[in-house]
Amino acid sequence: MTDTLDVGARITGPNTGGTRTEGAGGAGAADAAGRVSHTLGMVEIRHVADRSGARARYDVLYAGHDIGNLVRHFRRLLEVAGARPGARLLDVACGEAGLLHAAAAMGVSVHGVDLSPVALRLGRTGLPGGALAVADGESLPFADASFDIVTNIGSLEHYDDPLRGVVEMARVLTPDGRACILVPNTFGLRWNVLHAWRHGDVHDDGQPLQRYGTRLQWARLLTDGGLAVDRVLGWEKLDDLPAGPAEWVDMLRHPSRWLIPLGSWLPVDMASMLVFVCRRAPP
């Protein structure tokens, strides 16, 4: 089996040798002015100066602990994305490939890219050979219209140039395909509002670069990058629900934690995360 974890490796997958257009991301949208204009108004926390620093930091984070194993969370997202047996799915910034393992169990043809070789080594067991490769979400190694489903789950907010990342997702999506993108909400009640109430600041998850945006800010970014937003869902991680009697007792002792199960009743604009279900915008 060929090891595809070298930096810049191409995934053995659909249409990797076909036409690859640069689109808006290649011509001018990726310059510094464009990056600033499309994230203007978002809350930004930066711990590293560039992408090489980000890659090294993610390797350390993944080697030290699990930052993404949320089984029920992934299954729900796949349902929203319309995953079905035989569909070609690309998970951009897939981390340890938790979503891809859930999708493969459904009969989906899975492919994933991530900046961190460490994450991919941790996640590749049990996936088809060539399913994973180290690649930057701002420059995907695939031909145009290669995938029926493209997912980006809690990663777009960490890009240096999120607009270029959106352009790339739109480019590799088939004309009738679907993109499912999860991003954090500036006014999420559970994360930022309560955190600001207690600590006077936004929540910092320790990743190299973090952004929080409102529903309209994220929607504008996705639209400018070539995606048409079909619907927006407020999102909470159900894996955070108590798993047994001891955890339920602990929740009763800390009433604020009831925000977890009550999250599904929050208004969209107060949810911790926002899920955008999109398609390619017509030319």
pLDDT at res. 202: 72
Mean pLDDT of the region 52-73: 57
Residue type for 198, please? R
Share of the chain above pLDDT 70, in %: 62
Mean pLDDT of the region 132-150: 97
Quick one: which of 13, 33, 15, 38 has its CA closest to 171? 15
Residue 97 has pLDDT above 90, yes or no: yes
Cα 179 from chain centroid?
Answer: 11
Distance CA 29, CA 23 (A): 9
Q: What is the pLDDT of residues 147-195, one digit of tens each?
A: 999 999 989 998 989 999 999 999 999 999 999 999 999 887 766 667 6
Residue 140 has pLDDT above 70, yes or no: yes
Q: What is the dihedral of CA 85, 90, 95, 97, to 10 degrees?
A: 20
Close Cβ partners of 254 (under 8 Å, ≥ 6 residues apart)? none
Distance CA 276, CA 77 (A): 11
Which CATH number describes the domain made up of 23-280?
A: 3.40.50.150
pLDDT at res. 155: 92
Q: Are 123 and 101 in contact (CB under 8 A)?
A: yes
Q: Give backbone dihedrals phi and psi of 93, rounded to 5 degrees, phi first.
A: 60, 55
Residue 226 has pLDDT above 70, yes or no: yes
Share of the chain above pLDDT 90, in %: 45
Residue 76 has pLDDT above 60, yes or no: yes
Mean pLDDT of the region 227-255: 71
Q: What angle do CA 238, 240, 245 make, to 5 degrees?
A: 110
What are the residue ranges spanned by the domains of the chain? 23-280
Quick one: which of 80, 64, 118, 78 has its CA closest to 96? 118
Distance CA 167, CA 180 (A): 14
Quick one: which of 21, 91, 39, 84 has its CA closest to 220? 39
Quick one: which of 58, 207, 226, 212 has its CA closest to 150? 226
Q: Are 71 and 132 in contact (CB under 8 A)?
A: no
Residue 92 has pLDDT above 90, yes or no: yes
Q: What is the pLDDT of residues 257-280, one digit of tens each?
A: 555 555 556 788 888 889 999 999
Q: Which residue intervals of the chain are DSSP H helices? A: 23-27, 32-39, 51-64, 71-81, 98-104, 117-123, 162-172, 194-199, 215-224, 245-253, 259-262
Place of tokens 């990726």: 30
pLDDT at res. 248: 56
Q: What is the pLDDT of residues 2-51, one digit of tens each?
A: 233 333 333 334 555 566 565 444 444 445 445 556 766 776 767 665 56
